[in-house]
Chain A
Amino acid sequence: MSPQANSNDQNPVINVAPSPHVFSMGMTIPVMMRDVLIALVPAVGMAVYFFHWYAVKQLSICVLACLGAEAVFTRMRNRPLSLGDLSATVTGLILGLSLPATAPWYVGAISAVVAIGIGKIVFGGLGMNIFNPAMVGRAFVMIAFAGKMAASGYIDPASGIDALSQATPLSAFKQFGATVPLSSLFWGTTNGSIGETSALICLLGGLYLCFRRIAAWQIPAGILVTVAVIGAVANLADLHSQWTVFHHLLGGALFFGAFFIATDPVTSPVTSAGKWIFGIGIGALVMLLRLFSGYPEGVMFAVLLMNALTPLINRWAIPRPFGGV
């Protein structure tokens, strides 16, 4: 039946739909991804400042390979092209930032293809994946090309010498017991994966994400607090005492991981309690791996492990409803 009550000669087209009938248009998935990209700007800038051409190359390869892989895989599965949601770009950037500058081009490319293909598409695309795609890609090359993943291309921006051969602070400490001044860890004038070396820069972008409520603040808070507590206990127990709790906090991929990797909404729990459990779990696993395993760093494995536990955490952390007991 067409509406008869109208003052215009042209009938308006009336449709029906279930409630609600109005929606908040401000926050969409592409907007969220765009925010992540904005938050990554300082980290990318820092990477380019410290690692020059190596960083540009690494990041471009990873982003382009992720976009290419996304396009090819969605085409193969006959799905509409999903590049518009920017999620492949985000995965590519985070992946690139988590690789060492000197890793050869094919390491970046392969990890990107694995990240998108195995990390995301086989699960059914964005939203269906269990594991953080970038970390899946990184874990793959970490195991397949172990030798190539040792960070060795650090450029000292002050000295102007090209590629310095130097181990990352965490592995240097593990191997020869050498410590790095805290200030280098804070400002980022040290070696490591290209996006993770400066805790300050990661914090800047991370706070923006939390402020925009793209990242749940409970996750980085849980991680950092747990690492601080366990680090302090380890300090007191005189375990690796020159590597203080502050080195643990500022060193390695901790800040980058806490704010950019662990907070991937798809692969972390949905409730507030669940997010705390998730963050604390990652913090504990990171410290376990750092203190007792053969690997110098543990952020990647800790995130992947907690990703696997996320469905369980979700089932376990059902919030008390309003008026419930």
Chain B
Amino acid sequence: MLTLLKKLSPSGRSGGSFPGPGTFVHGVHPPQRKELAADAAIEIVPPPEKVILPLLQHVGGPCTPLVKARQKVAFGEMIGSGETFVSAALHASVGGVIQKMAVTTLPNGRHLQAIVIRSEGEQLCGQALWDQMFGGLWPEKTYQSLEPGKIADAIHAAGIVGLGGAAFPTHVKIMPSDKKPIHTLIVNGCECEPYLTTDYRVMVEAADAVVAGALLAARAVGAKKTYIGIENNKLEAVDALRRKAAGAGVKLAVVKTKYPQGSEKHLIKAVLNFEVPLGGLPADVGVVMTNAATVTAVARSVMRNIPLTHRVISVTGGGVVQPKNLLVPIGITMGDVIRYCGGLRKTAARIIAGGPMMGFAFTNLQTPVTKGTSGITILTREEIRRIDQRACIRCGRCVDVCPMKLVPTKLAAASRLKDLNLARKYNIMACFECGSCAYVCPAGLQLVQHIRMGKTLLAAEMRK
């Protein structure tokens, strides 16, 4: 009964103890709408006719293609190598024949060279694929004696990048450094973006793999403590994880549901009560954070020697016929995925790679799903309704919600006037474009758009 009460209370810390306050100051509460896809079990999408694999799906340098047109490749074969340190290898997500190199445009506007594979022959699919990726046992104990360097090598070879959206190469992130010793690894299971249920489903359906991956990542960075940070709107995932985590020495940190709790800095604040210094990285306070789906890829690469070829995405929103969570090969086109979900509704008005707060809108359905695509959110006209734009009335609402404690109205004004000194004085570079300010602005101002422009201008000036 007591546990039930704890579960029901919105601030219930059902996940045991952790030093932080369990939340951060400011932030917003956009409608969650997770119910659209939250209970849809992950479905395995059959291999499409072709996949499009851009050479740059991560932060850093592009990988170098290792294959030529008309060449045959097997499923899982490395087709691009990440030679520079901050890069990631690329693997064939279906077996088949390499086509002519194509140029594709990602939702973020980048034009990229891409390897196209036409699938051919028998493909691993259905339950067999699931078993390989997530199923079965994850006896991480057998790997507890593994050298940290070996773990990093496996991750590097598997081409793993952050699957939460940022797509930073994981082997770089977990690289131990003498200057900045790491004491804590936090697995980010917050998924604070409205609508998206990707990480949620992975945590519910593959809790074992999450815990095993968390332990391996912690071992790689030399962390003594491991937490899984998760919002208290995901109690089913909390239950699934708790069963496995308790015995394994992984602690659950159940934090308050608020946007953007999934931001790295704000989750560290909530769980450990540390503030990552302005312009710094989690490593500056001895923490490494990695996303929940990413650690399952880590476990897979280390324990089963399987590269990153597939990922789970949510296809959700009021504008899609059947919201679903899917296991898809990386490189499948958005159009194929949407078609699998019954297509668009008549009322659909916007298609977003990622969630509605930080995702990128696109129209070209030939765009491929990349390693960093955490979902496709399809919104209706009603869902994207916005306030008529008026002049800023300096009400300070944007100031009251900014999780970085900035002054968005001033940042936007300084950016519009191209007053870069003023923008810098107001710490424009600390803005991570979470969208909270624009979400609440009663004047309907495009604050993030202006700030983004100001950041670009300032970055260009600083490079000079």
Interface residues of A (CB under 8 A from B): 1, 3-8, 10, 12-25, 27-29, 31-32, 85, 124-128, 213-214, 216, 265-272, 275, 314, 318-325
Candidates B194, B347, B348, B394; contact of A127 at CB < 8 Å: B394
Residue B457 at the chain A interface, CB threshold 8 Å: no
Determine if A321 and B444 form an interchain contact, defined as CB atoms under 8 angstroms apart. no
- Cα(A8)–Cα(B452), bound, Å: 37
Determine if B403 and A322 form an interchain contact, defined as CB atoms under 8 angstroms apart. yes
With A3-B365, A16-B361, A265-B395 in contact, do A27 and B280 touch (Cβ < 8 Å)?
Answer: no
Determine if B347 and A7 form an interchain contact, defined as CB atoms under 8 angstroms apart. no
Determine if B430 and A321 form an interchain contact, defined as CB atoms under 8 angstroms apart. yes
Query: Which listed segment binds A: B117-125, B216-224, B249-257, B335-343?
Result: B335-343
Residue B406 at the chain A interface, CB threshold 8 Å: yes
Candidates B266, B349, B394; contact of A265 at CB < 8 Å: B394
Determine if A21 and B399 form an interchain contact, defined as CB atoms under 8 angstroms apart. no
Residue B276 at the chain A interface, CB threshold 8 Å: yes
24 contacting pairs across A/B (C-beta < 8 A): A5-B344, A8-B343, A8-B344, A8-B346, A12-B348, A14-B363, A15-B350, A19-B448, A21-B352, A21-B384, A25-B387, A126-B390, A126-B391, A126-B393, A265-B396, A266-B394, A268-B394, A272-B396, A275-B396, A319-B405, A321-B406, A322-B265, A322-B275, A325-B277
Determine if B349 and A323 form an interchain contact, defined as CB atoms under 8 angstroms apart. no
- Cα(A240)–Cα(B385), bound, Å: 59
- Cα(A61)–Cα(B328), bound, Å: 68
Determine if B357 and A19 form an interchain contact, defined as CB atoms under 8 angstroms apart. yes
- Report B103-129 CB contacts with A as 1/0, cut-off 8 Å: 000000000000000000000000000
Candidates A14, A16, A17, A265; contact of B393 at CB < 8 Å: A265
Determine if B358 and A323 form an interchain contact, defined as CB atoms under 8 angstroms apart. no
A16 to chain B, nearest CB (A): 4
Residues in chain B near residue A323, CB distance under 8 A: 265, 275-278, 280, 404, 430
Candidates B266, B407, B439; contact of A22 at CB < 8 Å: B439
Residues in chain B near residue A265, CB distance under 8 A: 393-396
Candidates A7, A126, A127, A319; contact of B344 at CB < 8 Å: A7
- Cα(A270)–Cα(B265), bound, Å: 25
Residues in chain A near residue B351, CB distance under 8 A: 3, 14
B269 to chain A, nearest CB (A): 8
Determine if A29 and B349 form an interchain contact, defined as CB atoms under 8 angstroms apart. no
Those of B294-329 within 8 Å (CB) of chain A = 319, 321
B25 to chain A, nearest CB (A): 8
With A265-B394, A322-B405, A322-B430 in contact, do A23 and B319 touch (Cβ < 8 Å)?
Answer: no
Determine if B410 and A15 form an interchain contact, defined as CB atoms under 8 angstroms apart. no
- Cα(A323)–Cα(B278), bound, Å: 5
Residue B392 at the chain A interface, CB threshold 8 Å: yes
Nearest neighbor of A271 in chain B, beta-carbon distance: B399
Candidates B336, B349, B397, B407; contact of A27 at CB < 8 Å: B397
Residue B383 at the chain A interface, CB threshold 8 Å: yes
- Cα(A31)–Cα(B388), bound, Å: 12
Determine if A23 and B438 form an interchain contact, defined as CB atoms under 8 angstroms apart. yes
Q: For the complex of A and B, list the 8 residue pairs with the smallest distance between their C-beta atoms, beginning with the closest.
A: A127-B391, A20-B435, A7-B343, A16-B361, A12-B348, A265-B395, A5-B339, A21-B356
Nearest neighbor of A10 in chain B, beta-carbon distance: B346
Q: Given contacts A14-B348, A272-B399, could you give 10 more A-B pairs where the C-beta distance is less than 8 Å?
A: A18-B448, A19-B356, A20-B356, A20-B439, A28-B388, A214-B395, A271-B407, A318-B425, A321-B427, A323-B277
Residues in chain B near residue A28, CB distance under 8 A: 387-388, 442, 444
